[in-house]
Structure 1
């Protein structure tokens, strides 16, 4: 769980280089310490419903301050794709107290850095700064959360920025276009099939009223969490949280995240693209699987291990089978992403070896998977994958940013601190039998979408040949 949460840091956000004592008595839940992998977490709730998570990390005199909002692109209304990401941009455009850009300028003047990112299930804002500047960041963050000003001129300017971001990151990148089309094909009903950055035809029509309505509905304290990780005293953070965030008023009832759920897949999907900008062919496949909130106990962790077994590193099953033994691929990888509010995915990416036809490579992939279904994988291979997953998460929490990210993302999809800290012990219990059963149960072609990207002759070459 921790690994895939961290690895899911969004591509579609901004570019990453992202009376006190009276209120104290109004806190509705006492601080609750929890511990795993030498991580201590204090959790409490402010009177207005805002959650607060504090993770002390005393290795350096710095702190990471994050505000998480339980809203992402999958919560957008039909015809308004991209509004969550667009609003993320607008929260840097100023408040009644701060001019556009002044928030980030103040952070930089105090030696810090800031940014934000949007995903299908959440939007988050972060600052990393010296610990003695935490109160300044708290004051600025609370002001931005509650008092962003929507100036028509700035809104129009920022919309052009978002459109250019889409052009540069997606429209000018064939691999990104394939991923976008593959997701759109994979999902029949669920909004996970829409791009986080939005469809250009809808982004172009977003208006100030759309952003303001979305802001008032979702950016309310009871729908958000403050996460602070770093060289801090939890009690002091609690006092500051009450002082700055505890006084914010809710602007709307806590939103109900009602999404159309994906029906049981009944047919494999396929996308084929050719592009003159592509130098070599590639294959991408995703299988729709239960997310952590829908999967039976133990299944999400089993799928984590399955993703690792299949294609994580040169000792993985698919790498050994397709790259080393058959030599039909130059690279293959796979991963599981189940840390979502709704359904999850197992993804496979494959690059055919030079001279190998893309169809032959895809057939070899299918044959390798069928061999796995028939013969299974050994307990030794599963044990190695378990150990790799656990180790990778130890390394992940060595980063203060990732430490804060893990608990913020878990909050955003409705998981508890105990759920998050218990992931390691649950992964250690996964057996080879469970992995083999999961592969047979969930890696079915009817639950998959396959994308093929191949080079195409350029227009100049076509003109010459004609």
Structure 2
């Protein structure tokens, strides 16, 4: 399986790039790697695994070329784990995780915690009162407004009081002082990740910081950060043509499964999130038994294990995380949605497909490569270069997640004066071709060759290897899941592609989202800008 990261580009289309490739593992972890890829013993023999009594999984690979280590902490929690009315919690907690702990980010936590508790109480009361008045359906009375203003003033005053104890950005500054680079985090549908690169002799600093963050996070500046997330939502979803299209498209494709909910959350849910709910979410999902730490670089595994046992080993395991019970029902008819925006048209087409571990998953990876990987791929050649129907075209075989059944999606931006309908028809023609014409062996071999070429480049990346070890340990339950991925991809036959194309690329299994450009003009009489 090859996992791609999807991103919305300024040009207005869904582009595809390979994440510090899984082929780092696919080939070099295989029992008999090609000599050109060898770097001493195979990585299958070099990955050292250790599991703590509290359930924390540690994966290590020694690489002594430079005195640095790349570290990836991945938690098996994302947007799929949120409840109705609390969407966006996983993403909000990712923000809050950088606010510090009982010892980092504060001048006096004993005093600060009292103010934070009162701020949480009054802030929650203010949120509730605002919702009640919004539902009222009539004008707010002067008395109601005065009471609301009083609560708002209390919140403002308490925020200022709590702010007196805050040491801003102290965690990042600590890492910076000790040579850390690349401090980052990300939240997706299936998981949340925290990364850092450090001089190898600073591992004790890392262990102290991260064990403290896992055990004792403090939700300081909560309402300020909630506002930041809300602004992020406006920027990336509400006011972005790509973001709004894919949010609408995805929610149409998934009627039941939480894959249909935006990871950043719905706006009304974000504004109702509370410190209490966020802390409960943390206690449920961010325990050591739901985490994997991957370290790659200049390390001594025995010393690393002893260090992690002394620090992370003290953290108690969380209770078992709730299982996601919802299964997306079979789609029984094409779904089409339109989003109006003052932007160039885009079309997104999605077909339901199996998730990680299903025998057909690798077949979709191959189809993904055939259709859009590189300038000589089929859709790039026909739509972009030859017929010039589209300015761009892309695909993704695992959208928006990998754990559960997901979507194979294709996206394109028409090249004026061509329309989304023309581009859509051209894409369907190529999908029909996959059903009726066997893919030549030479074309399939090119895909394997491309994977091998990517491997040569990716082997140099400690962070890429750490990323993939933690990723597959989390989503598949075992990093060894990828040991034979390259072989499975190489074993895909033309008949497999035809069978999968016929089974899944059907109208009844299809969701189509279209960004429709609408014009703005000046209403000269009223002097106001209007849309039509």
> If the length of structure 2 is used for normalisation, what is the TM-score?
0.77
Output the CA distance in 2 between the equivalents of 1:234 and 1:426.
31
Which of 285, 305, 310 aligns to 2:371? It is 310
3-state SS in 2 of match to 1:273 = strand
1:225 corresponds to: 292
1:228 deviation in Å?
Answer: 1.0
1:79 deviation in Å?
Answer: 0.9
3-state SS in 2 of match to 1:460 = strand
Output the CA distance in 1 between the equivalents of 2:301 and 2:241.
47
Q: Is the 8 A contact 1:312 1:335 kept in 2?
A: no
2:103 corresponds to: 97
Alignment of 1:41-52 (within 5 A): 41-52=47-58
Output the CA distance in 1 between the equivalents of 2:104 and 2:294.
23
1:284 corresponds to 2:278: no
3-state SS in 1 of match to 2:316 = coil
Q: Deviations over 1:413-434 (max 9, x none)?
A: 1341221232122222222221
1:435 corresponds to 2:497: yes
Q: Number of residues paired by the alignment?
A: 434
Output the CA distance in 2 between the equivalents of 1:194 and 1:170.
12
1:267 corresponds to: 333
1:80 deviation in Å?
Answer: 0.4
2:153 corresponds to: none
Q: Evaluate the alpha carbon distance shift between residue 10 and residue 348 of structure 1 in structure 2; reply closer, same or farther with a 3 A threshold.
A: closer
Q: Could you say what the CA RMSD is over the residues aligned between the two structures, in angstroms?
A: 2.3
1:48 deviation in Å?
Answer: 0.8
1:345 deviation in Å?
Answer: 2.1
1:454 deviation in Å?
Answer: 3.0
1:128 corresponds to 2:206: no
1:158 corresponds to: 225
1:397 deviation in Å?
Answer: 4.2
1:393 deviation in Å?
Answer: 4.3
1:176 corresponds to 2:243: yes
Which of 316, 325, 338 aligns to 1:249? It is 316
1:355 corresponds to: 417
**Which one has more relative contact order, counting CA pairs under 8 Å at least 6 apart?**
2
1:86 deviation in Å?
Answer: 0.5
Output the CA distance in 2 between the equivalents of 1:10 and 1:454.
17
1:452 corresponds to 2:514: yes
Q: Which of 134-143 and 110-119 deviates more?
A: 110-119
- Runs (4+) of structure 1 moved beyond 4 Å? 8-11, 461-466
Question: Structure 1: which 5+ runs fail to align?
Answer: 12-33
Alignment of 1:280-429 (within 5 A): 280-293=344-357, 295-296=358-359, 299-337=360-398, 340-429=402-491
> If the length of structure 1 is used for normalisation, what is the TM-score?
0.87
Question: Structure 2: which 5+ runs fail to align?
Answer: 10-27, 34-41, 106-167
1:143 deviation in Å?
Answer: 0.4
Output the CA distance in 2 between the equivalents of 1:332 and 1:317.
10
1:364 deviation in Å?
Answer: 2.0
Output the CA distance in 1 between the equivalents of 2:523 and 2:66.
57
Output the CA distance in 2 between the equivalents of 1:163 and 1:306.
37
Q: Is the 8 A contact 1:292 1:344 kept in 2?
A: no
1:24 corresponds to: none
Output the CA distance in 2 between the equivalents of 1:225 and 1:35.
19
Output the CA distance in 2 between the equivalents of 1:57 and 1:444.
48
1:106 deviation in Å?
Answer: 0.2
1:175 deviation in Å?
Answer: 0.8
Output the CA distance in 1 between the equivalents of 2:367 and 2:485.
15
1:28 corresponds to: none
1:146 corresponds to: 215
1:394 deviation in Å?
Answer: 4.4
Output the CA distance in 2 between the equivalents of 1:136 and 1:285.
47
Q: Evaluate the alpha carbon distance shift between residue 2 and residue 402 of structure 1 in structure 2; reply closer, same or farther with a 3 A threshold.
A: farther
3-state SS in 2 of match to 1:95 = coil
3-state SS in 2 of match to 1:245 = helix
2:188 corresponds to: 119
3-state SS in 2 of match to 1:425 = helix
Q: Is the 8 A contact 1:92 1:103 kept in 2?
A: yes
Output the CA distance in 2 between the equivalents of 1:70 and 1:267.
33
Output the CA distance in 2 between the equivalents of 1:390 and 1:347.
25
Q: Is the 8 A contact 2:366 2:447 kept in 1?
A: yes
Q: Is the 8 A contact 1:311 1:335 kept in 2?
A: no
Q: Is the 8 A contact 2:353 2:408 kept in 1?
A: yes
Output the CA distance in 2 between the equivalents of 1:375 and 1:391.
27
Output the CA distance in 1 between the equivalents of 2:334 and 2:65.
50
Q: Which of 223-232 and 72-81 deviates more?
A: 223-232
Output the CA distance in 2 between the equivalents of 1:82 and 1:225.
22
Output the CA distance in 2 between the equivalents of 1:170 and 1:387.
38
